[in-house]
């Protein structure tokens, strides 16, 4: 994946985290992501920095969403 594509993915995931915070009506704990200090607008940072930030953001998002999802969803269609 090229650096520009990785930055684009980073930006999309940041938008997903913003929407998740709105849906949950509370602030999400994205401590691992925030510790990286890399944001989608940090275009001067290396590709590796953005890759680490993307993985941290995905890990934090999945952890938070897994905690939110306690009710099982039915597999039947409407």
Q: Is the pTM of this model over 0.85?
A: no
Two tokens at 46?
Answer: 């290396």
Domains of the chain: which residue ranges?
28-66
Q: What is the separation, in whole angstroms, between the first and last Cα of the chain?
A: 39
pLDDT in tens, the chain (78 residues): 899 999 999 999 999 998 888 877 667 788 999 999 999 999 999 999 999 999 999 999 888 877 766 666 667 766
Looking at residue 68, its pLDDT comes to 65
Count of CB atoms situated within 10 Å of the CB of 60: 19
37: left (phi over 0), alpha (psi -120 to 50) or beta: left
25: left (phi over 0), alpha (psi -120 to 50) or beta: left
């Amino acid at each position: 994946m090229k650096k520009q594509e990785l930055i684009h993915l980073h930006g999309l995931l940041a938008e997903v985290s913003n929407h998740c915070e709105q849906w949950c009506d509370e602030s999400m704990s994205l401590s691992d992501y925030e510790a990286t200090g890399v944001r989608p607008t940090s275009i001067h940072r290396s590709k590796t920095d953005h890759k680490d930030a993307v993985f941290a953001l995905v890990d934090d998002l999945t952890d938070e969403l897994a905690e939110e999802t306690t009710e099982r969803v039915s597999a039947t269609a409407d």
